[in-house]
Amino acid sequence: MKNIKYFILIILGATTLFSCSDGFLKENVYDFKSNNNFFQTPDDADQAMIGTYKFLADMYRQSMIEMLTQNSGAFNKHRLSTVWISGTYTSATKEIYQTWQYAFQLINGCNDVIANVETMSSIDDSTRNIIIGEARFLRGWTYFVLVRMYLQLPIKLEPTRNVEDVMIPLSPSADIYEQVIIPDLEFAKENCPVRWSAANTGRATSGAAAAALAKVYLTLAGNEDGSEYWAKARDEAKWVMDNGGYSLVSDFGKLWETGVKNTEESIFEVQYMRGVNTGSGYAKIFTPGKSGLAAKGGGWGRSRITQKNYDDFANAYPGDYRIEKSTVTIDGLSGFIDIRKDKFIPVYPTKKYNKKTQAWPYVGKWIDPEAPDNFAADNNFIVIRYADVLLIYAEAENEVNGPTAEAYDAVDMILERARNADGTPREQPANWERTLTKEEFRDKVWNERRFELLGELKLWFDLVRKGWDKFRQFKEDDNAYGFKPVPHGVYEKNMYYPIPSLEISANDAISVEDQNPGY
């Protein structure tokens, strides 16, 4: 078996299986490496499975990063606006269909693997179920990402063989959860290994499936008191805690060092490696220009943290080590070295800053000064990590039983890690007093998610699952705070995205009347 970190070498032989034509989502019918002559041996099946991860890497590139950060109310883009900040994107906005396209390329690749491996006679049942479980994990996870973004989707569970195969009507969210997401993730949990060998690091595991199910049930619970999904979310998170073999990295800062990948905290992460066409773009999108922290001298700083969200973190836990490691700092000071002038450039909240040019701090979780080009950095993206699962458990346990000792203990693990990271004892972040009401605990754990998981593409989803009142108030509060040349648009329709106009025009089973409300 091949190491997934080198999937790009395999994909050269496998892309003919999954590639798209120039038309939008009109997948090519398979040629000489078709289901008739490619899926002959277990190694063929394994190569095809690994090849699908290319599309996972594509899905987590620039389009989705900017959609989820800038529409969250916690990020801005200097003095400039974007359609994500203003909320004025449309069904024709390119990122809307790029994210959709990459996701359905991945779904189609998974469908092809499932359909062909199911009928292979040269593979034993155990290996068959592992590979199908892996494909169903990726398919279920991708549908989970998409259903929260686009609300309704075509349910596509068979590979594309001809043009008619893509003419599928939209289905509502409830059907997608019931028919695809939950059964796919349950099958993956049952059949994927708890751990892969070192040569297969990065592939989907039973722990990743259980963690994904915990997130699914947390989303389905929404804001509903007494929802049955709270207990399900808690139980899946607890299964990961008891059976996954994961733990927190002792030093929070180590998670973000260039080249550090697939730690004991990582449950599932997108694998990138430094190089053109194989690397990631996170350093380029988040870090400042002329800082030397990304390719070609620095980043674009396209998604910068707003003043309020920085201050919320700093005021909750003054001196929290996580702030230093999550934002761009030099020797503990907010700012960076301009490599052209060899000069320290302060950013918020340093007092000596120009509010017209340096009004926001930058995310510093992803840097790669050695990247040879834009979107060629050596930073993986952690989709789910153990700290996320602990916070899911704490939130769900509180909703079921109130703030129990077990709920506090889960949060304490995260706070204690931050407080004692790098071997230096600190006073903050202090453990919470164990006197909170259920409502107080609910608010604090929600905020803890945005502090601990800052910039990790979780906040928009967390806002949406909490409902319109939370989504609206969060953006309005940020608009009213501090220096704000570019306010966030506050529209209920921005809690989801439109069905891409190109999909509507290409898919005869979808009409303009099927479009999501407000678009």
Q: What is the DSSP track for 160-186?
A: --SGGGG---EE-HHHHIIIIIHHHHH
**101 pLDDT above the threshold of 70:** yes
- Left if phi > 0, otherwise alpha if psi is -120 to 50, otherwise beta: which for 342? left
Span of 160-164, 180-184, 235-239, 244-248 with lowest mean pLDDT: 160-164
**Average per-residue pLDDT for the chain:** 91
* Structure tokens, 261: 């990948």
What torsion do the CA atoms of 498, 504, 505, 507 make, to the nearest 10 degrees?
A: 150
User: What's the order of all strands across the beta sheet hosting 333-338?
Assistant: 329-330, 333-338, 343-346
Cβ–Cβ contacts within 10 Å for residue 343, how many?
11
- pLDDT tens-digit profile of 267-306? 999 999 999 989 999 999 999 999 999 999 999 999 999 9
In a domain, 13, yes or no: yes
**Residue 286 in domain:** no
At 5 the pLDDT is 53
Domain count, the chain: 1
The CATH number for 82's domain is 1.25.40.390
pLDDT at 29: 37
Q: Is 27 helix (H, G, I), strand (E, B) or coil?
A: strand
Of 52-61, 179-188, 346-355, minimum mean pLDDT range: 346-355
Domain of 78, in residue numbers: 4-204+497-514
Q: What is the pLDDT of residue 393?
A: 98
Q: What is the pLDDT of residue 28?
A: 37
Is residue 292 included in any domain, yes or no?
no
Q: What is the secondary structure of 483-501 as a DSSP string?
A: --SSPPP--GGGGS-PPPH
Q: Which residues pair with 84 in a beta bridge?
A: none
Q: Quick check: is 18 in a domain? A: yes
The token pair that represents 251 in the structure block: 């030093």
User: Mean pLDDT over residues 1-5, rounded?
Assistant: 50
Q: Cα–Cα distances in Å, from 92 out to 167, 275, 307, 513?
A: 20, 31, 31, 16
Cβ burial of 518 (10 Å; 0-12, 13-18, 19+) is exposed
Q: pLDDT digits over 436-455, tens only?
A: 999 999 999 999 999 999 99
| Phi-psi label, residue 457: left if phi above 0, alpha if psi -120 to 50, beta otherwise | left
Residue that is written with structure tokens 């674009």 in the block: 300
Per-residue model confidence (pLDDT) at position 13? 34
Between 12-26, 68-82, 178-192, 380-394, the lowest mean confidence (pLDDT) is in 12-26
Q: Residue 33: pLDDT above 60? A: no
Beta bridge partners of 154: 170
In a domain? residue 451: no
Token pair belonging to 345: 């450039």
Structure confidence at residue 2 (pLDDT): 45
Q: What is the structure's pLDDT at 35?
A: 57
How far is 459 from 239, CA to CA, in rounded Å?
24
CA atoms within 13 A on the CB side of 243: 17
Give the mean model confidence (pLDDT) for residues 319-331: 95
Structure tokens that stand for 182 in this block: 């939950």
What pLDDT, in 10s, does the model give residues 338-364?
Answer: 999 999 999 998 876 666 667 789 999
Question: Does residue 314 carry a pLDDT above 50?
Answer: yes
In a domain, residue 479? The reply is no
Model confidence at 15, pLDDT cuts 50, 70, 90, reads very low
Q: How confident is the model at residue 397 (pLDDT cuts 50, 70, 90)?
A: very high
Q: Range with the lowest mean pLDDT among 5-9, 16-20, 103-107, 501-505?
A: 16-20
**What number is the average pLDDT over the span 89-104?**
97
45-155-14 Cα angle (round to 5)? 25
Identify the residue with better confidence: 71 or 351: 71
H-type helices in 178-320, by residue range?
182-191, 206-221, 228-243, 282-286, 307-316
Phi/psi at 80 (5° precision): -100, 150
How does residue 12 score in pLDDT terms, banded at 50, 70 and 90? very low
The residue-averaged pLDDT of 144-167 equals 94
Asked if the structure places residue 72 within a domain, the reply is: yes
Question: What pLDDT shows up at residue 468?
Answer: 98
Per-residue pLDDT of 411-438, as tens digits, reads 999 999 999 988 889 999 999 999 999 9
Instruction: Give the residue, 42 or 441, on which the prediction is more confident.
Output: 441
138 sits in which H/E element: helix 125-150
Give the chain's end-to-end CA distance (angstroms, integer): 46
Residue 221 lies in a domain: no
